Structure 1
Amino acid sequence: MPPQLPWLEPLAPFPAPTLAWGERDPAPGLLAAGGALDVANLCAAYAQGTFPWYGPGQPILWWAPDPRMVLPVAEFRLRRSLRKKLQAFRRQAHCEIRIDSAFRDVITACSTKDREGQAGTWIVPEMVDAYTELHLAGHAHSVETWVDGQLVGGLYCVALGRAVFGESMFAHETDASKIALSALVCLCRGHGITLIDCQQNTQHLASLGGREIPRADFLRHVDSARQQPPVTWQFEPVYWDELLPPKTDPA
């Protein structure tokens, strides 16, 4: 029999992440059910490396998996084809990265994206509303790819201090989500942020440089990073230099 899953009342504290179900249990990483998706509860969850993930018709489910998938920004894998696309994107005046100009549009697009191996979405309507409130409170951000004045791709994330938790991406044009992720990597590098949380291991994230680390190491990172001053969530074109160093003339 699996251990009993704690049921959270709206104001109840979260169990310690180390109490999450293990690899021999039916849902490894599952920590608790119930609770609320308000700003205070979401901040408390992320502060201890816990996140909500559930589907339509299910109660709120909270997760703290071990190991944890992360993207060390210094290890971001920039393949030649993406490098060329970023170089072209940077040069063209009709292409731009915006941050937080269309958060609800981004999370809504993420919620309607078809994903391989998944029926439906985990970004249910109450999740869209909750993270929009978290955004208005200054703790969730969208990184957006715009071409010819149209939103063509992007991602959203949660940020507590300098702890950054990636959530979901979407693309209406080829590589538009990868361009947004590249911009986030550049912003993080420019501000000394070392990790982007990816929550779950996927082949796509691994191809970009993501890897698993022990939960204990991840929690130590979160505890330290979230206490650091938050960054200014604004993308400056010079940040591209973090991935696309300017060419220098030979002496």
Structure 2
Amino acid sequence: MRLIQLSRDSLNFPPPDMALREPNGLLAMGGDLSSARLLNAYHHGIFPWFSPGDPILWWSPDPRAVLPPEEFHLSRSMKRFHQKSPYSVTLNHCFSEVIAGCATDRDEGTWITPEVIQAWQTLHSQGHAHSVEVWQDDVLVGGMYGLALGQIFCGESMFSRSENASKTALLVFSGWFARQGGQLIDCQVLNPHTASLGAREISRAGYLQYVDDYARRALLTECWRPQRLFTRRC
């Protein structure tokens, strides 16, 4: 099965089941990162991921890593930490700073290039992309960002500059998202960090069924407005 070259003149993608088995999920290359293309991709279970200097690569892996928000795994140590948390958590207070943190606070390098940052900032300005911020006093110490697809949230990246900051972001967001009617957090590919927090793998077909069932169902009205989700306890 050959890799499909996308045209800038068309937003169409090949069917996800045409993705390669090795590397797992690689479906197509090329195109651009316009909002219309990105939204179309995510509505078909496809996302971009590529290294700086490489062409844009589009993926739809099988299996897919997901986290039903009510299944967040709260370890005993994290529960003790959160009971006396030094953090506050907000929603959509500083998207630009969060995506910049995700791009720079990584030992393994980043795929979040200036081109990617600009594309996601545009999605945020259009009301599609959202950020969660973790604060210690007035200092941003962690966070995460992603794309809202109705009752699904497609998590893109997170960062942490202080103990358990990214875990706190996902813990608080998961509870809030479930209360708004959220059904699923897409984690894309399972890794030890997300697995430890309750993420699990399902088939690509299973994930696409979630998208078909929930991506066009709305959450509670105005739930994505900037707001405080959690206030420090000490």
Q: What TM-score do the two structures reach when normalised by structure 2?
A: 0.92
Which residue number in structure 2 is paired with residue 16 of structure 1? 15
**RMSD across aligned positions (CA):** 1.8
Between the aligned partners of 2:126 and 2:34, the Cα distance in structure 1 is 11
Q: Structure 1 CA distance, aligned partners of 2:133 and 2:106?
A: 19
Q: Secondary structure, in 3 states, of the residue corresponding to 2:216?
A: coil
Superposed CA deviations along residues 5-25 of structure 1, whole A, max 9, x for unmatched, are 111112320111111112xx3
The runs of at least 4 aligned residues of structure 1 exceeding 2 Å deviation read 234-240
Report whether the alignment pairs 1:101 with 2:93.
yes
Q: Is the 8 A contact 1:96 1:147 kept in 2?
A: yes
Quick check: 2:88–2:135 contact (8 Å CA) kept in 1? Answer: yes
Alignment match, 2:217: 228
Using CA pairs under 8 Å that are at least 6 residues apart, name the structure with larger relative contact order, 1 or 2: 2
> 1:74 deviation in Å?
2.1
Superposition deviation, residue 213 in structure 1: 0.1
Counterpart CA distance in 2 for 1:40 and 1:127 is 14
Shift in Å, 1:192: 2.3
Query: Which SS does the other structure have where 2:198 is aligned?
Result: coil
Cα gap change, 1:97 to 1:133, in 2 (>3 Å): same
Amino acid at match of 1:78: L
Mapping of residues 189-208 of structure 1, within 5 Å: 189-208=178-197
Contact 2:64 2:189 in 1 (8 A): yes
* Structure 1 position 237, deviation (Å): 4.9
1:44 corresponds to 2:40: yes
User: Contact (CA 8 Å) 1:52, 1:63: kept in 2 or not?
Assistant: yes
| Displacement of 1:239 | 11
Query: How many residues are matched?
Result: 228
Give structure 1 stretches of 5+ with no counterpart. 241-251
The aligned counterpart of 1:58 is 54
SS in 1 for 2:84: helix
Whole-angstrom distance in 2 between the partners of 1:122 and 1:33: 15
SS state of the match for residue 216, structure 1? helix
CA contact (8 A) 1:187 1:239 kept: no
Alignment match, 1:143: 132
Unmatched 5+ residue regions in structure 2? none
The residue type paired with residue 40 of structure 1 is A
Alignment deviations for residues 78-124 of structure 1 (CA, whole Å, 9 cap, x no partner): 011211222222xx6xx421111110110111011224xx3x21111
Select between 47-56 and 222-231 the one with higher mean Cα deviation. 222-231
| Corresponding position of 2:152 | 163
Contact 1:190 1:239 in 2 (8 A): no
| Cα 1:138/1:109, change in 2 over 3 Å | same
Once residues 36 and 220 of structure 1 are traced to their aligned partners in structure 2, the CA distance between those partners, rounded to angstroms, is 26
C-alpha distance in structure 2 between counterparts of 1:71 and 1:17, whole Å: 21
2:171 to 145, 162, 182: 182
Q: Return the alpha-carbon distance in structure 2 between the equivalents of residues 82 and 6 of structure 1.
A: 44
